[in-house]
Amino acid sequence: MRLADRYIIKEFIKPFFISLLIFIFLYLLIQFLEDLGDILKEKQKLYPLFKNYLFQVPSVFVHLSPIAMLLSSLFVLGTFSRYNETIAFQVAGISLYRIFFPFLLLGFLFSGISFFINDRIVPPLSLKIEKNEKKIPEITFYTKEKMLYAKLFDREERALFDLQILSYSDGALRRIINAQKALYLNPVRDASRIKYGINGVNKEIWILRNGISRQFDRQGRCISQSEFNSLKIDLRLTPKALLTGYRKPEQLSFNELLFYLRRLRKDGLHPAAQLVDLYSKTAVPFINLFVLFLVLPFLLSFHLPASRFFGIGFSILACFLYYWIFSLGIALGKEGLLYPFLGAWFANFFFGTIGGFLLVVVRK
């Protein structure tokens, strides 16, 4: 490694970690202020809350490190521009591409670190955070014969809200049930509710409230439809089994999510959303690298302001644009409009292509 490379890396590291720590602090402070009303209303203890915030730090690092990467790059190259150090590098025979090398090396390094944190540290901490939550949003559970989705699960009430159940037979959709609420009714624990006429202890009965049930033939045509105020159904699923079998993508490592997808395929299911989540496990960390392809050519080809306020604003704006296009690619992939891999990597490829073109222009 050349002396110039070590110099650039040394100048980069300090502003990177300072800006990253500031961004993480601001993120957690904003979240605390948002939760302050609930804390005062429910008289929550602060220690468990702060522990949850501490568990979120690795995940926040993964998502905010690209902003710190941009800001630090702007600061370093702005300083070089102010003191004509970029020109000095070129006079010494160091090409623009060679000046890029330390930044790209750091992009690779922090992409690898982000992948490791996102794959090994974030999942177990996310599970610990969820164990402390009384209400869990966005529950999805798959079996060979059913797919269950609920907007919210209440641990204390043992209830699902805004529930949808899709039942399959021989790979064809045969029944859809929608209900505003589903209450778990364990016949052993809730013997006082014998009025529902539940016999036997092996059934896992749920009482569905205010919903509609539709039956379909093998061609997918609706052949019957009925509304109900109360419907008794055996889902063969306890709340504990539901939470054990269901885990959000951020609670799974890459290998665990891959194993889960193979199990779904074995059951005859091919969910595109989970495939996009799998490829996102690799796409998100590499934002640290690809975002540099867009910014560095501009910094070296135009004399941009070197002020810190400009650097902060430009970094945040560029990352918001990046994450917006990233979200667009994810949405298109989950809707089946793009291949899952292309949907997850859409933003990286988009900005990488633009950056590669600009690098060629800069050389000319």
**Using one digit for the tens of pLDDT, what is the confidence trace for 337-348?**
899 999 999 999
Per-residue pLDDT, 220? 80
Per-residue pLDDT, 305? 54
What does the DSSP 8-state code read for residue 44? Answer: -
DSSP E strands in 170-240: the ranges are 172-185, 205-216, 222-234
Name the helix (H) or strand (E) containing 165. Answer: strand 159-169
Q: What is the layout of strands, in order, in the sheet containing 222-234?
A: 135-142, 146-154, 159-169, 172-185, 205-216, 222-234
Per-residue pLDDT, 194? 40
- Is the CB of residue 279 less than 8 Å from the CB of residue 261? no
Angle formed by the axes of helices 308-334 and 46-82, to 10°?
120
Distance CA(288)–CA(14), nearest Å, equals 17
- Is the CB of residue 80 less than 8 Å from the CB of residue 307? no
Distance CA(325)–CA(312), nearest Å, equals 20
Distance CA(79)–CA(180), nearest Å, equals 59
Per-residue pLDDT, 89? 75
Per-residue pLDDT, 76? 85
- Provide DSSP, 314-347: HHHHHHHHHHHHHHHHHHHHHTTSS-HHHHHHHH
- Given a cut of 50, the residues of the chain with pLDDT beneath it are 188-201
CA angle (29, 34, 40) in 5-degree steps: 105
Residue the block writes with tokens 């089994």: 241
Per-residue pLDDT, 248? 78
Which token pair is 1? 């490694």
Per-residue pLDDT, 195? 44
Distance CA(224)–CA(133), nearest Å, equals 39
- Is the CB of residue 153 less than 8 Å from the CB of residue 135? yes
Task: Tally the C-alpha atoms within 13 A of residue 357's C-alpha that lie toward its C-beta.
Answer: 5
* Domain chopping of the chain, boundaries: 3-132+278-363, 145-237
CA nearest neighbour of 292 among 280, 281, 300: 300
